[in-house]
Amino acid sequence: MSTPPRFGAIIIGDEILSGKRQDGHLAKLISLLSERGLALAWAEYLGDDRAQIAATLRRSMQSQDIVFCFGGIGATPDDQTRQAAAEAAGLNIARHPGAVAEIEARFGAEAYPKRVLMADFPENAALIPNPVNRVPGFALGSHYFMPGFPEMAWPMSAWILDTYYSALFHQHAQHEVSILVFDAGESQLLDLMQHILTQHPSLKLFSLPRLDTRRTIELGVKGNAEQAQAAMEYLQQALDSAGFPWQAISAEK
């Protein structure tokens, strides 16, 4: 089976970094992907800094990643994402006829002279329909640019996944299983963790200490179901031999 593409997120806005608004995009995108058997590989938060946004996009555009970008595509001076995306892709900004038609249909004469500025996209951009107010987002290759408003961005994100990536749904199932290990510190389990990864290099291992009254670690693996189960059985046997009590807590697909 071929290696699945990676999904990434770029969340843009000074208001997020300053704490004036709380981000909800990350959790929602993770949920939308998970519902379709997909997973988020990475995420970045950026302020409304055109140079920084352009540099980040230039880097991500050199990859094959599918990237969801939230925020900064309005027409106010602090919105820099459209211009940064054009700069990163080496394109000019041009008024998109399809976007103009959507904005005119929504606002009529009030589309001019200001609202129509939101139809100025990088050349050759594809449109992402906005079910709330018809002001579209845009796509450049596998990068998708949406407004920061959750009520708009979230259905737009679902539309992108369902329209362009349905062939990927549930094609690379990940099995996750974890246990609680008691009375052990992570340092006491390092050799065991390394052995599991040496024997099963395609698995991802996670170790999450808990600040409980009793020393507790959630220890688990994620990946191919057969390998994950084999690794967990070995882990449980090794913990029994070492005298560390444990308790199974999850087994997910």
Q: What is the pLDDT along the chain (253 residues), one digit of tens a residue?
A: 467 899 999 999 999 999 999 999 999 999 999 999 999 999 999 999 999 999 999 999 999 999 999 999 999 999 999 999 999 999 999 999 999 999 999 999 999 999 999 999 999 999 999 999 999 999 999 999 999 999 999 999 999 999 999 999 988 777 889 999 999 999 999 999 999 999 999 899 999 998 878 899 999 998 888 999 999 999 999 999 999 999 998 554 4
What pLDDT sits at residue 88?
A: 98
Q: Are 141 and 60 in contact (CB under 8 A)?
A: no
Task: Return the structure tokens found at 110.
Answer: 């009030």
Residue 73 sits at φ, ψ, to 5 deg, of -105, 15
Residue 111 sits at φ, ψ, to 5 deg, of -65, -25
Report the predicted TM-score, pTM, of the whole model to 2 decimal places.
0.85
What pLDDT sits at residue 70?
A: 98
What pLDDT sits at residue 239?
A: 96
What pLDDT sits at residue 211?
A: 83
Task: Return the structure tokens found at 188.
Answer: 């006491």
Give the separation between CA 209 and CA 4, rounded to whole angstroms: 30
At residue 82's C-alpha, the angle toward residues 110 and 136, to 5°, is 50
At residue 125's C-alpha, the angle toward residues 108 and 137, to 5°, is 50
- State CA 126 to chain mean position distance: 21
Task: Return the structure tokens found at 238.
Answer: 């090794």
Task: Return the structure tokens found at 55.
Answer: 């540099």
What pLDDT sits at residue 250?
A: 56
What pLDDT sits at residue 253?
A: 42
What pLDDT sits at residue 1?
A: 47
